[in-house]
């Protein structure tokens, strides 16, 4: 195997993250219908927050508070309660990306596995447990706990310390986000794989070590290198 460590992003790399269905379920449990129009309005607030978070101008608590502030006032509750309810709903609807489980099974015993995610701590352990993956990853690094998010080099430095400072040439970062996963990994000096499931346009400024449209392609690449 060319790599000793394979580091995965979580959302839309290993796990589906259908925020609309999560919001629908959360509001259904509150006795309220949540529509696509409602979701578009929510995303007008939510999406820029994640950009600011990746740029390091706000923290995880800011996202939790700002994106649910209007709903908290409307339903006479707290942003913390709504955020927890949303993450509970997301855990309940969790499913894996196609071929993810097969890839992880194929890598077992051949490489050591970890996760670096910009997601929230509250969701990760529950999701891994429900998918039967609690023992699959030696380290799960969560930006909320570290205090910096991908693509910041700080979260990669923190991860390398947790891994015992392996040679960078023996580490591969796999993710669906060309900026946070691929550019972050590139700038840190490790190989990267872009999972481009939606065939987004390539960037002239960002060149992954590998680009795949499905995880079975990555499995073929990694196992070929293992021979």
**pLDDT, position 1:** 86
Share of the chain above pLDDT 70, in %: 99
CATH of the domain at 102: 3.40.50.1000
Average pLDDT over residues 177-185: 97
Please identify, among 92, 107, 128, the residue that sits at the C-terminal boundary of a domain. 92
Parallel/antiparallel/unpaired status of strands 210-212 and 191-195: parallel
- DSSP, collapsed to helix, strand or coil, labels residue 151 as coil
**pLDDT, position 226:** 61
Answer yes or no: do 106 and 200 share one domain. Answer: yes
Please identify, among 47, 73, 92, the residue that sits at the C-terminal boundary of a domain. 92
* Cα distances (Å, whole numbers) of residue 79 to 27, 70, 163, 165: 14, 9, 35, 39
pLDDT at residue 227 greater than cutoff 60: no
Answer yes or no: do 138 and 220 share one domain. Answer: yes
Average pLDDT over residues 104-111: 95
Answer yes or no: do 189 and 212 share one domain. Answer: yes
pLDDT band at 58 (very low <50, low <70, confident <90, very high): very high
Structural domain total, the chain: 2
pTM: 0.94
pLDDT at residue 70 greater than cutoff 90: yes
Q: Which residues contact 65 (CB under 8 A, 6 or more apart)?
A: 79, 80
**pLDDT, position 90:** 95
Average pLDDT over residues 14-37: 97
Answer yes or no: do 106 and 203 share one domain. Answer: yes
CB 157 within 8 A of CB 174: no
d(CA 34, CA 176): 27
Answer yes or no: do 104 and 179 share one domain. Answer: yes
Domain span at residue 182 reads 5-16+95-226
Please identify, among 57, 92, 127, the residue that sits at the C-terminal boundary of a domain. 92
Answer yes or no: do 55 and 26 share one domain. Answer: yes
List active site positions.
9
CATH of the domain at 46: 1.10.150.240
CB 7 within 8 A of CB 171: yes
Task: Please give the helix or strand (H or E) that residue 43 lies within, else none.
Answer: helix 36-54
């Amino acid at each position: 195997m060319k790599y000793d460590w394979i580091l995965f992003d979580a959302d839309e790399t290993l796990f589906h993250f259908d925020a609309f269905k999560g919001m629908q379920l959360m509001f259904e449990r509150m006795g309220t219908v949540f529509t696509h129009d409602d979701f578009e309005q929510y995303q007008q607030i939510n999406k820029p927050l994640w950009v600011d978070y990746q740029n390091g101008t706000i923290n995880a608590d800011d996202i939790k508070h700002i994106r649910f502030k209007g709903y908290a006032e409307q339903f006479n509750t707290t942003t913390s309660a709504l955020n927890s309810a949303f993450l509970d709903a997301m855990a309940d609807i969790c499913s894996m990306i196609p071929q993810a489980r097969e890839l992880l099974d194929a890598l077992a015993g051949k490489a050591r596995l970890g996760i670096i995610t910009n997601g929230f701590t509250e969701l990760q352990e529950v999701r891994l447990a429900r998918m039967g993956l609690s023992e699959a990853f030696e380290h799960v690094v969560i930006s909320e706990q570290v205090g910096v998010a991908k693509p910041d080099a700080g979260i990669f430095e923190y991860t390398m310390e947790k891994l015992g400072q392996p040679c960078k040439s023996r580490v591969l970062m796999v993710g669906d986000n060309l900026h946070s996963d691929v550019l972050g990994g590139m700038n840190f000096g490790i190989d990267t794989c872009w999972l481009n499931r939606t065939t987004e346009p390539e960037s002239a400024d960002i060149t992954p070590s590998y680009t795949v449209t499905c995880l079975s392609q990555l499995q073929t690449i990694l196992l070929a290198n293992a021979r």
